[in-house]
Structure 1
């Protein structure tokens, strides 16, 4: 465990105690400064952007009022009244020239003179102000923001409808949309009635300023509120007008492909408002004063919903400036403050450390002497200290204590040496007696094990001899009668030749089992003859042995074999294991069903082939974890007519050659037994002894 210098040095502790209050004070000062600076700066920034929004709002209102005033002033012009007399209107070219001249003077995108008696012919182009026509007929003017649908724009001017179209562009943080083009328009529209000499409304003067793609409007507001000196260096101020959630006029820029626009930037017209802002400003119709993501960066932003002359929400007015320069300036300020305070802290630490060094020279001398004594230098002493304080008295007392300790240590060492000699003598005697006792215990255990084994094998040998005699005689009779049956049947025996061969083969298998009983009941007997086998044919032959029992239960066996290396085993014993597993799988089904029988390679974790694997899988009732843990115990069974030896003997047979049997089971979903066999058998002595105890059950498998 690491120990810092201020934990081991008094001088370090004094330095820590001195500097800790200073450090805490400085950290608190930095924290308060950061908090106050951030709070004050944020408040000032939001106040500024709110004031900028007010300027933009007033500018938009002023634009509407100025347009209305110009039209009203024009409508009162005697010259215009004279030119619109019935005698002049026959000249259509003169009327078009007059309209074009007035449109240029007013700097609007469209200007129309609509005869009052024929307004029904212009109903499509007046759809957005249809409810205000009675006011116009009474001589009142109408002016304000309007959202014009594509049909109304086309009715006014086809070129105007094309000019208003804005392709929508992908925008980060915006709401998903399937729209591709914004073809509506936001216009500042004014309609002023023109009176004839009789004081009746003769015409409507319809003028409008298209705000879609209107860069002059937003640039005018930007130059007004974000002129030189109003923002930090690299600060970007912007003004945007939204129709719905789409930017239709803005000076927010974004990168564009080289050569597309000047200096590689373009206006962000066609991008859309962020989803967070849209929810508050468009859905809830509330003012937004906060930071917001604008196209590609974070801005200190102010968003305000705008309404048309029908007081319906049509869009959003935005002002804001990038927050990056302010954050950079804020970080520079904090960095300068932190560096200054760090310098103060380092200077204070140097002064405290230098002063403490002279104060603690005697303490360090005492410490060196104490550590020398601890390291084994019993003759180390502090000696004389050139001080007149408590340190000198402490050093003198320490030296006296060390002298007394040396004297007592010599006495204790002499007594310890004598005691050690006596303990060694008695310990040696006890060790000899313990070794003799252990030898007697080991001899007793070995003798007892030999007696138990001999007694068990004697009983097993007697039982095995009787079984072999009783079974071999009927087996010989069966073989004789099968030969006689073949002779008697003659050529007719070919119809049942397969069944005859199967009976003869199973009789020889019975004899092989009896030979195993005789062989393993004798101590020191050799193991069964190992054979190099091709596993797939052995499995297929075994399946033929149990085919009758499976067909009787209507159990279908799905077979799948892989190309396998040869393995070493005893053919009869391997077939005995497979028969046991197949019969158990069929019994687990409780009726008709399917068993999956397959062979695969047996490989280790490094991909090396060890041998082959046989898998027997059923979809029967399965086993609980408690039953699964005991199925390989001798005489444990869950079947009423079972003897509990099948799986126990099978496991011992397979493990004799270095293989293994593993099982996976789940109640209600069936069981899967896997038999692992080595290409080169490895006789397991422990399982060989176990097999000798279990082979007495082979006759009932």
Structure 2
């Protein structure tokens, strides 16, 4: 299905105008949704982590307060030491009264001389009494079995019992009842007037079905305004994976009734694996009994350091997700409203803008259909369209007047065209051939002219360099002879000057030697490439230091290679200077290294790598850098890399480059242990230098 306006300029302009707006609004909506989601998730997880910290702090505070009460009782009893010498039944009544008045679920005095017998019947005390006898008061979580409670605290058995319920997403279990009790337990020594420990005061608070504990924390962290209107904040205490106290609402039963609390339900399998299995904190969304909650779980340990349960804090995810969808919907409505208003104004503007264009189009179509008197007429707009309409009408008038003249001349022109067509076709073909020949000739002449100028300059420079080089050598000999032994402190510097002058002369001689056909190649030497590389770096050190360029050197154990020392140094100097230039005058690093290498024929050799952190090269530039006279640097002659590659290929080696725009370049120089003279590259090198005008 197509729309007529889709083929009009007005329709295309409308689409062209609205598309960027629509694209911008769409991207904005996606980015807003992404940022909102990430920010919301991050804030929610930060909040639930803080809620868990408050819950843990409340539990720690409960333990500390319980121990403080025991310490206060101990101090009071220590003042009235005669209490412990009274009748045991009266002492037991006193302890029971204190237990009821101070909110303990159990409180008892353990005689020191009976501790061994007591521990035999109460495993939960095993190992703890020795620590208290050493002078340490203990407070923390403790697990007491049903048998132990039946023996020492019968009233706790029914209070601690938790019926285990089938829970969605929990790990399957055959266990139906949890008879153990989790206690906040405190142990404190009581001393007599002589400072001897005579009793241990053992008190505890049962956490099974302890709704006050979880409700207090919920009111603290999930009070009014802490969550959305329908948000549900919950706190839970687990014994192993069973909820023993919680304010999470219970599951709906088969008869439709819902329990007020989800006590007896179990933790989900994935949370159990992480918190109880790996003993790590869970901070993520999790399935809690019947729905998804933003949850934080933390493993709990008893006084002996054993993992006994989990502390949980979290709130329902649904209200936040609903609020998130509502925000996205409001944003979508706002963006669509902006798009609709923009489309309306663009459509109205295009109608006013293209009304003159439509009149011009209608007139053109009328003339095309043969209505010779069709004209555009006066246009109300005072812009280029008005001038265009006037010019178009004038053109139509002139077209009518000339049409007859053209028609009369057309017949005569057709005859002349027929006569000259054959001749013109032949001349056209000849002209095309001459044009191609002319283009080729112009390119050759331009190249030869450039080569001739460069050749004259190179020959002159070679002559001018050799003369001062000879003068420098003569004066250095005279200076050394005149100074005698006084020259010994600077003998190394004198030798370096002489060596580099000879190197200059060798480079000039090598350059000129390539211009003499039939000449033999320079004598090949066996070179320690690591030493040559270090010496070369010394030659360019000053230029690189001025730019604050650091050279990172890495030399591996490599074989010796055959080649000409000065020519290889010339190649390395060129590559190092180019690497420095690639940094564009900014401080940076160049990485210089040597590596063992084998050719494709498995012949041993050496690879020299020079890598920079410069601007890199685009693929089209990289493909041309070894071509003669190609350069991207202002003032460059485009010969450095071309000559360098030819010099290396003379010995059977090669230069390769790996570069990526914006990430720098790496040049690799490959040299064989036994040089293989490449006659083809030798001929190319001579042809190149011949073009320079030095032959």
Aligned counterpart, 2:336: 342
Cα-to-partner distance string for 1:517-561 (whole Å, 9 max, x where unaligned): xxxxxxxxxxxxxxxxxxxxxxxxxxxxxxxxxxxxxxxxxxxxx
Structure 1 gaps, min length 5: 409-701
Aligned counterpart, 2:218: 222
| Pairwise CA distance, 1:37 | 2.0
Structure 2 gaps, min length 5: 380-385, 408-695
Aligned counterpart, 1:48: 47
What SS is found at the alignment partner of 1:266? coil
Query: Contact between 1:124 and 1:151, CA under 8 Å: does it hold in 2?
Result: no
Matched, 1:155 2:151: yes
Structure 2 counterparts to residues 399-548 of structure 1, below 5 A: none
Aligned counterpart, 2:94: 98
Give the Cα separation in 2 of the matches to 1:260 and 1:120: 53
| Pairwise CA distance, 1:260 | 9.5
What SS is found at the alignment partner of 1:303? strand
| Backbone CA RMSD of aligned residues | 3.3
| Pairwise CA distance, 1:38 | 2.0
Query: Contact between 1:363 and 1:391, CA under 8 Å: does it hold in 2?
Result: no
Check 1:268–1:81 CA distance in 2 against 1; reply closer, same or farther (3 A cut). same
Q: Which of 321, 325, 328 matches 1:327?
A: 321
Aligned counterpart, 2:177: 181
Give the Cα separation in 1 of the matches to 2:374 and 2:311: 85
What SS is found at the alignment partner of 2:344? helix
What SS is found at the alignment partner of 1:249? strand
| Pairwise CA distance, 1:268 | 0.8
Query: Contact between 1:145 and 1:188, CA under 8 Å: does it hold in 2?
Result: yes
Query: Contact between 2:58 and 2:217, CA under 8 Å: does it hold in 1?
Result: yes
Cα-to-partner distance string for 1:265-312 (whole Å, 9 max, x where unaligned): 511111111111111111111111111111112111111111111111
| Pairwise CA distance, 1:10 | 1.9
Query: Contact between 2:163 and 2:176, CA under 8 Å: does it hold in 1?
Result: yes
Structure 2 counterparts to residues 544-555 of structure 1, below 5 A: none
**Larger gyration radius, structure 1 or structure 2:** 1
Check 1:257–1:293 CA distance in 2 against 1; reply closer, same or farther (3 A cut). closer
Q: Which of 342, 348, 351 matches 1:357?
A: 351
Matched, 1:280 2:279: no
Cα-to-partner distance string for 1:367-401 (whole Å, 9 max, x where unaligned): 67889999xx8879965444334467668989989
What SS is found at the alignment partner of 1:254? coil
Aligned counterpart, 1:59: 58
Aligned counterpart, 2:8: 9
Cα-to-partner distance string for 1:481-537 (whole Å, 9 max, x where unaligned): xxxxxxxxxxxxxxxxxxxxxxxxxxxxxxxxxxxxxxxxxxxxxxxxxxxxxxxxx
| Pairwise CA distance, 1:5 | 5.0
Aligned counterpart, 2:303: 309
What SS is found at the alignment partner of 1:108? coil
| Pairwise CA distance, 1:143 | 2.0
Query: Contact between 2:363 and 2:376, CA under 8 Å: does it hold in 1?
Result: no
What SS is found at the alignment partner of 1:311? coil
What SS is found at the alignment partner of 2:332? helix
Query: Contact between 1:366 and 1:382, CA under 8 Å: does it hold in 2?
Result: no
Query: Contact between 2:81 and 2:193, CA under 8 Å: does it hold in 1?
Result: no
What SS is found at the alignment partner of 1:290? strand
Matched, 1:236 2:235: no
Query: Contact between 1:124 and 1:155, CA under 8 Å: does it hold in 2?
Result: no
Give the Cα separation in 1 of the matches to 2:125 and 2:396: 108
Cα-to-partner distance string for 1:635-684 (whole Å, 9 max, x where unaligned): xxxxxxxxxxxxxxxxxxxxxxxxxxxxxxxxxxxxxxxxxxxxxxxxxx
What SS is found at the alignment partner of 2:245? strand
TM-score by length of 2: 0.52
Give the Cα separation in 2 of the matches to 1:125 and 1:210: 20
Aligned counterpart, 2:430: none
Query: Contact between 2:236 and 2:247, CA under 8 Å: does it hold in 1?
Result: yes
| Pairwise CA distance, 1:55 | 1.0
Give the Cα separation in 1 of the matches to 2:154 and 2:230: 42
Query: Contact between 2:250 and 2:263, CA under 8 Å: does it hold in 1?
Result: no
Matched, 1:168 2:164: yes
Cα-to-partner distance string for 1:551-605 (whole Å, 9 max, x where unaligned): xxxxxxxxxxxxxxxxxxxxxxxxxxxxxxxxxxxxxxxxxxxxxxxxxxxxxxx
Query: Contact between 1:143 and 1:191, CA under 8 Å: does it hold in 2?
Result: yes
Cα-to-partner distance string for 1:200-220 (whole Å, 9 max, x where unaligned): 332222211111111100111
